[in-house]
Chain A
């Protein structure tokens, strides 16, 4: 190391500015406070002292919440509290993994289309438009049916159905950022296309994509519920919030609390991800101070 490196004029590099600002962001904190406990419960489900989510009891059918069954029981006597916790795994997985699939496929395609333009853009954009012409849920159902019923396939189906929106959003953002002088400046300095895309364009288009991703997680959780209802997602008897809610709606007049808990859980997670998305957007922007 040269002596210049130790020069006191050189300040220590501070790596976690975004992290520090995230911790100060109220909406991010509230979002995290909602999601983290639920995620923790879902991860620790096998270790928790709770009833077997699939154990039926013919003596405890459709019970209201009580001391033994905190959230009551379902139509074949399974503990709803336990099923809620196990069901969180399916819902959170479906939400996050399918959005991850959508991002991993959609962002690069959108980047390529927006950055290179021309025929690359033509091909990607025309296919995207064709996919967007199909309603989100219909496409997810068709894909899931094609891939075969399982939670994994449902996540792939939801992810691919959410991809076109991500492609289009990314492409639009790239077009706006590409016109900035600093992108041309990067070319003038001699950077190649990959370096420009990864260092100059991607970081500047992350905020709207994060917000879209947070919203899409919410949509994906609901889509998973719908697929499970159709038998294309989580396979019975394994629980998911969506399948629970769909069953519960048949018993709304007899056991209103049955629908309450999965519905509330979906609502909370969706709000949580939205808040977290907002917070992330602000934290990732160095101008927000």
Chain B
């Protein structure tokens, strides 16, 4: 075998803390050959990003210490001066980051930022660099590259910006590309396009790729070999097939078992709990499905008809309304007690706005919302506050959804006091019970949110709304920001609560695999409208609408054998729901594809 492009030996990275040096990555060792993709996977805090930053030597030299060897084409990078490293970065090793919205400089045109790399590393003239940059933009399949060269980053969508980042990274023809969660912030159809692109470019260039990700589906899709990290240690290294087929380390098995896989629910009719996985031993014990039946003969708990929410677009000197974002348009659905209805779709499709409109956190422009046959849109301010006992919301980001100045005990007790359910010590005692119910130790109730992990905070947020004994909970991407094992636990908690208390969930998510697991019914949204709605098994097993099919096809499946089914999704961008003033939305008609399964036909 030829020499590897990158060879990492005994890499140990430590950070300076008050208590001395603390190692966060220990004894990493792996090789990457030309044309090969190695994925580093692990949960947050496992040290995968620190590994890539150590290779690039991008950590603060005063606060960190890197030991071992990082050999790039026979040269130990750890022995280079900072000046020498500057010639390596962007030239021999290029890097793309997670957040395409912030990793481009908003003050310069996109083309100039690509050209700069060429001028800096390849000593091209300005004209040469411009031509090369346009060629590069064409290679990353940016349509109309010569026109878009002079545009600024804000004129590009997230997926297109990530293409620009890739163009910048590849401009200098690096030997090694480090991709740190490059698709995590992107929508699933865009993610598929970017993964395809990285793969194609890799084949053309024979480049080595180090791919950092938490998503086992992406790993299965792209990696030749995989390094599994667990709390700073390298748990296991092997070919991706071997890791997925028979992993040696218990943690790898546990990680894989916790991953929700699209298609795993074929044949199942009830929402299924995730198996309980012991992260230390790797032992997997399956749990029963959520067995509480939904009584569809009864009147629905929540009924939404022709909901429309629009936001005015103002422009010009006089700030006149020139159009509107039709965020939600003609959305209708029913939700029964004890049922989970999932709203799925990509960013900007209006699924969150639908949830917030139902809560009246934004004011809908039209339509009807009735909760237990009360008209929600006609309630006054104080009636609305009282109604909020019955319908509650859990947010996405566990780091911003709790008031940092309130202890978790106060946060959980507050709604009880507000709605006169309990007060004083009784409220405190009830809050402790609620924390126990969501699997937290009530002895921690006087701590502040920052002392909890993301998953624990999400449990606090759940305990907080649970005290009100709501009939409906709107869960807006509530598990999306969590690590796989934690995600499984929180989903199971939601299903437990549903089984025990008969809560109806409006589950808003872009994660198709989780949705398939926990839903009774699914509604697919596109550009503010529901294009398909029906029982979960129908929508996933027999998708009718083109968009639904595309969405399902784009989800990476954590199974390397199914990689051969290349997607070849066409390069496109999500269309915009901005409409001119006076736009009358077309009246949609739906056809019934099966019992309770409706598809937009026109």
Instruction: Determine whether A185 belongs to the interface, using a CB cutoff of 8 Å to chain B.
Output: yes
Bound-state CA distance A14–B450 (Å) is 17
Contacts of B404 in A (CB 8 A): 182, 204, 286-287
Minimum CB–CB distance from A260 to chain B (whole Å) comes to: 42
Closest to B461 in A: A185
Bound-state CA distance A1–B428 (Å) is 12
Bitwise interface map of B from 393 to 415 toward A, beta carbon under 8 Å scored 1, else 0: 10111001111111000000011
Given the contacts A192-B385, A199-B403, A187 and B361 also touching, CB distance less than 8 Å? yes
Surface stretch bound by A, among B31-39, B89-97, B440-448: B440-448
A188 near B393: Cβ-Cβ < 8 Å: yes
Given the contacts A14-B446, A184-B361, A190-B385, A204 and B405 also touching, CB distance less than 8 Å? yes
Bitwise interface map of A from 3 to 15 toward B, beta carbon under 8 Å scored 1, else 0: 0110101110110
B392 near A13: Cβ-Cβ < 8 Å: no
Instruction: Determine whether B172 belongs to the interface, using a CB cutoff of 8 Å to chain A.
Output: no
Number of B residues whose C-beta is below 8 Å from A? 42
B403 near A10: Cβ-Cβ < 8 Å: no
Instruction: Determine whether B581 belongs to the interface, using a CB cutoff of 8 Å to chain A.
Output: no
Contact of B397 among A1, A4, A181 (CB under 8 A): A181
B429 near A182: Cβ-Cβ < 8 Å: no
Given the contacts A181-B396, A184-B395, A189 and B442 also touching, CB distance less than 8 Å? no
Of listed A13, A190, A286, residue having the most chain B CB within 10 A: A190
A180 near B450: Cβ-Cβ < 8 Å: no
Of listed A4, A14, A181, A199, residue having the most chain B CB within 10 A: A181
Contacts of B428 in A (CB 8 A): 5, 10, 13
Instruction: Determine whether A2 belongs to the interface, using a CB cutoff of 8 Å to chain B.
Output: yes
Closest to B410 in A: A199
Contacts of A251 in B (CB 8 A): none
Bound-state CA distance A192–B386 (Å) is 11
Number of A residues whose C-beta is below 8 Å from B? 29
A185 near B395: Cβ-Cβ < 8 Å: yes
| 417-449 of chain B: CB within 8 A of chain A | 418-419, 425-426, 428-429, 432-433, 442-443, 445-446, 448
A10 near B442: Cβ-Cβ < 8 Å: yes
Instruction: Determine whether A43 belongs to the interface, using a CB cutoff of 8 Å to chain B.
Output: no
Instruction: Determine whether A69 belongs to the interface, using a CB cutoff of 8 Å to chain B.
Output: no
Bitwise interface map of B from 547 to 564 toward A, beta carbon under 8 Å scored 1, else 0: 000000000000000000
Minimum CB–CB distance from B180 to chain A (whole Å) comes to: 26
B393 near A11: Cβ-Cβ < 8 Å: no
Contact of A200 among B356, B403, B450 (CB under 8 A): B403
Instruction: Determine whether A236 belongs to the interface, using a CB cutoff of 8 Å to chain B.
Output: no
Instruction: Determine whether B468 belongs to the interface, using a CB cutoff of 8 Å to chain A.
Output: yes
Contacts of B418 in A (CB 8 A): 189-191, 195
Contacts of B403 in A (CB 8 A): 182, 186, 199-200, 203-204
Contacts of B448 in A (CB 8 A): 286-287
Contacts of B361 in A (CB 8 A): 184, 187-188
A9 near B442: Cβ-Cβ < 8 Å: yes
B429 near A5: Cβ-Cβ < 8 Å: yes
Contacts of A199 in B (CB 8 A): 403, 406, 414
| 208-249 of chain A: CB within 8 A of chain B | none
Instruction: Determine whether B161 belongs to the interface, using a CB cutoff of 8 Å to chain A.
Output: no
Closest to B430 in A: A4
Minimum CB–CB distance from B506 to chain A (whole Å) comes to: 13
Bound-state CA distance A5–B442 (Å) is 13
A190 near B386: Cβ-Cβ < 8 Å: yes
Minimum CB–CB distance from A206 to chain B (whole Å) comes to: 8
Bound-state CA distance A11–B464 (Å) is 19
Minimum CB–CB distance from B39 to chain A (whole Å) comes to: 32
A182 near B393: Cβ-Cβ < 8 Å: no
Bound-state CA distance A204–B386 (Å) is 26
Bound-state CA distance A9–B445 (Å) is 10
Bound-state CA distance A182–B418 (Å) is 16
B414 near A182: Cβ-Cβ < 8 Å: no
Contacts of A4 in B (CB 8 A): 426, 429, 432-433
B396 near A189: Cβ-Cβ < 8 Å: no
A190 near B429: Cβ-Cβ < 8 Å: no
Minimum CB–CB distance from B435 to chain A (whole Å) comes to: 10
A181 near B395: Cβ-Cβ < 8 Å: yes
Instruction: Determine whether B141 belongs to the interface, using a CB cutoff of 8 Å to chain A.
Output: no
Instruction: Determine whether B216 belongs to the interface, using a CB cutoff of 8 Å to chain A.
Output: no
Minimum CB–CB distance from B440 to chain A (whole Å) comes to: 12
Contacts of B450 in A (CB 8 A): 286-287
Minimum CB–CB distance from A103 to chain B (whole Å) comes to: 18
Closest to B465 in A: A189
Contacts of B385 in A (CB 8 A): 190-192
Closest to A206 in B: B405
A185 near B443: Cβ-Cβ < 8 Å: no
Bound-state CA distance A2–B433 (Å) is 14
Bound-state CA distance A190–B381 (Å) is 10
Closest to A184 in B: B361
Contacts of B415 in A (CB 8 A): 189-190
Minimum CB–CB distance from A184 to chain B (whole Å) comes to: 6
Contacts of B406 in A (CB 8 A): 199, 203
Bound-state CA distance A287–B403 (Å) is 12
Minimum CB–CB distance from A144 to chain B (whole Å) comes to: 38
A182 near B432: Cβ-Cβ < 8 Å: no
Bound-state CA distance A181–B464 (Å) is 14
Minimum CB–CB distance from B413 to chain A (whole Å) comes to: 11
Minimum CB–CB distance from B402 to chain A (whole Å) comes to: 6
B432 near A9: Cβ-Cβ < 8 Å: yes
Contact of B402 among A1, A182, A184 (CB under 8 A): A182
9 contacting pairs across A/B (C-beta < 8 A): A4-B426, A4-B433, A181-B395, A181-B397, A182-B403, A189-B414, A190-B418, A191-B385, A286-B405
Chain A residues packing against B (C-beta within 8 Å): 1-2, 4-5, 7, 9-11, 13-14, 180-182, 184-192, 195, 199-200, 203-204, 286-287
Top-7 shortest CB links A-B: A190-B388, A203-B405, A4-B429, A286-B448, A181-B401, A190-B385, A188-B393
Given contact pairs A184-B356, A190-B388, A199-B403, enumerate 11 new A-B contacts (beta carbons under 8 Å). A2-B426, A9-B442, A10-B429, A10-B432, A10-B445, A180-B400, A184-B395, A189-B418, A189-B468, A191-B414, A203-B405
